[in-house]
Amino acid sequence: MKTDPISFAASSPMRAAYSPLTHSFSSFKIGTPNLDAAIAANNSNFYTYELLQSIAEWLKKRVDIRPTVGIICGSGLGSLADTLTERNTFPYEVIPHFPKSTVHGHEGQLVFGKLKGVPVVCMQGRFHYYEGYPLWKCSMPIRVMKLIGVNQLIVTNAAGGLHSDYQPGDIMIMKDHVNLMGFAGNNPLQGVNEERFGPRFIAMNRAYDKELRDHAKKISKDLGIESFVREGVYAVLGGPNFETIAELRLLKTCGVDAVGMSTVHEVLTAHHAGMRIFAFSLISNKCVTDYDDDYEVNHAEVIDTGKMREPILKELVTRMVLKMSELENESASANNIDSASLMFDY
């Protein structure tokens, strides 16, 4: 009989639970009220490697497509997944152990399919910290994708434009981020490190792949959209409130170009797992940094900007996926040549 990871965990006598609140580990007997309370309070990293593997296996049993490229759709950008052919859709509530999507504009389903013949898996809806989930839970689908075979990730989001030149409808290729939640000690990689995904300490200077960013700029030129494609720095805040004027002024002086409430936890998890990452923000609104400005940002506007830019974003993402698949094939054949020459030499 196959061991269900939950029952396996339940049969282990002791388990360590990490509390990001107190930054400490405590040992709990499985099945004791203490552990149950810790899990209920989301203070324990509950997704063991084996549990994540069982989720990946559950999906692989139900779908033939084996994607190596994953896509995360931001607010108002879910229709990117509608471009897929040979679609196989899994609402999050049917996938074992998946959190539920609660935000308007995030459908809450995992969609497998093909983009111009390239197999991809798309998160049509993501998880945010402000929904009440800890960051390791928000980013668990990235690890599931990794176990399915995904090694390149496209991450999209809607963000407020802080840079004075940015206008709603602009596309900002992310070259870096400021992890404000990380400054406060909140990080999805906290807790016992799972070496099978990646090392304890990771460098971040190459997280946003330069070659992919250059391809995106070239594609933008080919599409004739370079006048509204930017490259900049995204800062993540926990939300759900939008920022105060004082907060925005502070962030502007720190070199931040756009502000949002997602993406960074996914990028950290994907980079830790060795994935190649391309990320962009759709600038959905201007950030108000003037006390005389009465304009108030709202979520409906964020969704509407996504709809407005839908056709061009679909084209950008499709061309990026084709390019990523090409790069992967090139590196696969280079590896084959390498191993063939090794066989010849020895």
Ligand X SMILES: Nc1nc2[nH]cnc2c(=O)[nH]1
Interacting residue ranges for ligand LQZ7MJT6, rule: CB under 6 A: 74-75, 103, 126, 128, 157-158, 239, 260-262, 299, 302
133 part of the active site: no
Q: Which is nearer to ligand X, 237 or 312 (CB)?
A: 237
x/- map, 221-240, ligand X, by CB under 6 A: ----------------x-x-
Backbone angles phi, psi at 258, to 5 degrees: -145, 150
Q: What is the DSSP letter of 60?
A: H
Question: Residue 234: which region, alpha, beta or left (left: phi > 0; alpha: psi -120 to 50)?
Answer: beta
- Per DSSP, the three-state class of 154 is strand
Least distance in angstroms from the C-beta of 240 to ligand X: 9
Q: Which of residues 80-139 bind ligand X (CB under 6 A)?
A: none
The answer to whether 115 touches 84, Cβ cutoff 8 Å, is yes
Which among 172, 302, 284 is positioned nearest to 225, based on CA atoms? 172
Residue nearest ligand X, CB atom distance: 160
Cβ neighbours for 67, distance < 8 A, ≥ 6 positions apart: 112, 119, 120, 121, 145, 148, 149, 150
* Residue from 20, 78, 119, 160 in contact with ligand X (CB under 6 A): 160
Residue 302 found at the interface with ligand X (CB under 6 A) = yes
Q: What number of residues does the chain have?
A: 346
Q: Residue 161 in contact with residue 170, Cβ under 8 Å? A: yes
Q: Which does 126 bind (CB under 5 to 8 A by kind): ligand LQZ7MJT6, ligand X, none?
A: ligand LQZ7MJT6
| Closest CB 242 distance from ligand LQZ7MJT6, rounded Å | 7
| Known catalytic membership, residue 262 | yes
Q: Does 287 bind ligand X (CB under 6 A)?
A: yes
Residue 324 burial by Cβ neighbours in a 10 Å radius (0-12, 13-18, 19+): buried
Residue of 289, 276, 286, 283 whose CA lies nearest to 330:
276
Quickly tell me which residue has 């596309």 as its tokens: 171
Provide, rounded to whole angstroms, the least separation between the CB of residue 254 and ligand X. 15
334 is catalytic: no
Kindly report the number of other CB atoms within 10 A of residue 48's CB atom.
Answer: 17
**Binding site partner of 160, from ligand LQZ7MJT6, ligand X, none, Cβ cut-off 5-8 A by kind:** ligand X
Owner of token pair 């840079």: 163
Type of residue found at 196: R
Whole-angstrom distance, CA of residue 334 vs CA of residue 169: 39
Using CA atoms of 163, 169, 175, 179 in order, give the dihedral in degrees to the nearest 10. 70
- Residue 259 interacting entry, from ligand LQZ7MJT6, ligand X, none, C-beta within 5 to 8 Å by type: ligand X
Interacting span for ligand X (CB under 6 A) from 43-51, 131-139, 158-166, 335-343: 158-166
Nearest-approach distance from CB 163 to ligand X, in angstroms: 12
Query: Per rule CB under 6 A, is residue 297 in the interface with ligand X?
Result: yes
Question: Does residue 18 carry a catalytic annotation?
Answer: no
Q: How far is the CB of 270 from ligand LQZ7MJT6 (least distance, A)?
A: 15
**With binding defined as CB under 6 A, does residue 178 bind ligand X?**
no
Taking CB under 6 A as the rule, does residue 261 contact ligand X? Answer: yes
- DSSP helix, strand, coil percent of the chain (3-state; round to 5): 40, 25, 35
Binding site for ligand X (CB under 6 A): 158-160, 237, 239, 242-243, 259-261, 284-285, 287, 297, 302
Active site residues: 75, 106, 128, 130-131, 158, 261-262, 285, 299
